[in-house]
Chains A and B, each alone.
Chain A
Amino acid sequence: MLRNYFKIALAVLKRRKFFTFISLFGISITLAILMVTTSFVDHLTGARYPEFKRGRSLYVHMFRSSSSTMGYINSSEPTFNFLNNYVSKLKSPEMVAICSNTTKSNAYVNNKKLSLDIMYTNRAFWDVMEFKFLEGKPYTAQQIANGEFVAVISEDTRDAYFGEGVKAVGKYIESDNIQYHVIGVVKSVPITRMFSSSDIYAPYTMPKSGADSKGYMGNYMAVLLAREKSDLPKIKEEYQEMMKKLPLENPKEMDRQESYADSYVGSFVRRSGGPGSKLGTVYFVIGAITFIFMLLPTINLVNINITRIMERSSEIGVRKAFGASSGTLVIQFIVENLILTVLGGLLGLLLAAIVLGIINNSGWIPNADLSLNPMVLTISLLLCLLFGLLSGVYPAWRMSRLQIVSALKTA
């Protein structure tokens, strides 16, 4: 039966080349865009290198203080001081990684300037993140405490500074007049991962790290790792308890202080949307946009499908006369439509793979690792099926209502 559906579906596609082209074009472009988008979203928010533990991590990168009487609001990243003295002391997280915003520094290779990002971190940073070490290892707590001038550099930095593939561990890298002893080289991280992407990683005890800033507002961030995913609510709760007890930094002017430990996406939503924004609303809006985006080609496809199916009224009449029930025919036409969508999906997949390949190789996003991973593929496949059903059900239903006699007559 299925083989037969397949045969006729292909025959129909071949016969109406122009319709087929329009349908496939619509489906494949839409799906390709969706797949590329999903891949981008996955690239930005998924548990990817080296932040594989995102699922059981909470992120802190905002501290906000405000005055309810004057209406002032100050907001920035927290200080190392706040993160180290209050957040690190929380009991429920397994560990707390602390890292700075990257700062630009200049290095010189053969009289050529090389702009390098430096990120200052604590020891736990290396345990929360799962970097791939190509050489050497991370700095120890002891090295940090001693204020040793050690650094881990990225593969790209090594290639640019020491030469491609040249061993760097044991050598020195000088940036902004500070010499660091290179003790490790890690695989480079895409620039889109602000908690882990840098060219040089150094201990927070370095001179220009800014870790000595007093107060709560500075340029550091933290990742709180839970032992298990189920601990996350408990950590959030403990975090808020800690915030309630936190002494006011400037009681005369600011009477309110806020900071949150949120999921990765949630933390950005909170930061960009203000205190009241809800993650659910954001997902809803994204969902609505996707739906509308898919609706347009679907309506177009519904139209094409109706014309296409009604053209085949003779076939419908004959099939009904020879024993096909309306239900069987509906299934046949939906299956045919699914075949078309799956074909479009495969084409879309190919297009998406090409587009992602181009983006990955273009250097628009350094070290981008956009890919059609299993999650992206599954989502795309589901979208494909949804698309096929959405655009196939209505025409099939209309067709099945056709009376045999009129179906045969109009042919």
Chain B
Amino acid sequence: MIQLRNIEKVYKTDTIETMALHKINLEVDNGEFLSVMGPSGCGKSTLLNIMGLLDAPSKGEVTISEQLTAGFSDKALAVFRNKKLGFIFQSYHLINDLRVLDNVELPLLYRNLTAAERTALAKEALGKVGLSNRMKHFPTQLSGGQKQRVAIARAIVGQPQIILADEPTGNLDSAMGNDIMEILTQLNQREGTTIVMVTHDENMARKTHRLVRLFDGSQVL
């Protein structure tokens, strides 16, 4: 499903060059639930951003669904992300000015759907994360766990094949974290969605199919 070949990422400033990722070769199979672990600053998030086409590698190739993504225009990348990928962030990144339902509808805005179709899909996604009764709320009226569930609903509403989650339980207590993990696991098992999750938490990582460890930008496991 996802293939990374010889991925390198170098951050340059005027005086210093930092190698964030060094020769990463990684394959994620269709339907796999993979976790990425490593100490802070080891390049986990950079790796996830490159997989999600949010950031471009300095060297190497990213292939998703057998499509080589190098050379995509801004517009083509946008369409590709919209169709194939869903994102979950540690700090949720919900839009506080929009109600829960509108937040979940967001990815569908960039598809050719009617308002009614969008609403129906968003409601269905909210149902899956158990938040049907919070549709009219604003994000600021929700708990951390609820916010993350809204974020999951937003990630799955467009039925992407791949979900990329950057420390989805990082800001949550263990009970809430377990809830989120449960939802992701079910999504993976029932719908066959491929999930790549960056985490600090060994317990969470243990619930996934495979674990990749990074250290100083290199893959160690």
Contacts and interface: CB of A to CB of B under 8 A. Distances in A.
A325 B157 CA distance: 19
A398 interface: no
B44 interface: no
Contact of B110 (A317, A324, A408, A411): A324
A45 interface: no
Contact of B115 (A3, A8, A327, A403): A3
Max count, chain A CB within 10 A of own CB: residue among B79, B86, B97, B102: B97
B93 to A, nearest CB: 5
A389 interface: no
Nearest to A14: B97
Nearest to A314: B93
B98 interface: yes
Nearest to A4: B109
A201 B73 CA distance: 75
Interface string B28-55: 0000000000000000000001001011
Contact of B107 (A15, A315, A323): A323
Contact of A403 (B55, B77, B106, B107): B55
Interface string B76-105: 011101110011010101111110001001
Contact of A8 (B54, B81, B89, B98): B98
Nearest to A317: B93
A7 interface: yes
Interface residues of A, number: 27
A405 B55 contact: yes
B17 interface: no
B75 interface: yes
Nearest to A411: B93
B101 to A, nearest CB: 11
A4 B94 CA distance: 15
B66 interface: no
Contacts, number: 74
Given A7-B102, A11-B98, A405-B55, A320 B78 contact: yes
B74 interface: yes
Interface in A1-44: 1, 3-4, 7-8, 11-12, 15
Given A323-B78, A324-B110, A328-B110, A11 B97 contact: yes
A4 B115 CA distance: 9
Interface string A305-335: 0000000001101111111111110000000
Max count, chain B CB within 10 A of own CB: residue among A3, A319, A320, A321: A321
Interface in B157-193: 158
Contacts of B74: 325-327
Given A8-B95, A411-B93, A322 B54 contact: no
Interface residues of B, number: 32
A408 B82 contact: no
Given A315-B95, A322-B81, A405-B55, A4 B102 contact: yes
Contact of B87 (A4, A314, A315, A321): A321
B75 A321 contact: no
A404 interface: yes
Given A3-B115, A404-B54, A405-B49, A323 B97 contact: no
A15 B91 CA distance: 21
Contacts of A403: 55
B147 interface: no
B149 interface: no
Contacts of B93: 314, 317-318, 408, 411
B78 A328 contact: yes
B79 to A, nearest CB: 7
Given A8-B95, A323-B78, A323-B82, A318 B106 contact: yes
Interface string B105-142: 11101110001000000000000000000000000000
Contact of A12 (B49, B75, B97, B115): B97
A323 B154 CA distance: 12
Nearest to A320: B78
Interface of A: 1, 3-4, 7-8, 11-12, 15, 314-315, 317-328, 403-405, 408, 411
Given A322-B87, A405-B55, 6 more contacts: A4-B102, A12-B97, A317-B93, A322-B82, A328-B78, A408-B89
A-B CB proximity, top 4 nearest = A323-B82, A11-B97, A325-B78, A323-B110
Interface of B: 49, 52, 54-55, 74-75, 77-79, 81-83, 86-87, 89, 91, 93-98, 102, 105-107, 109-111, 115, 154, 158
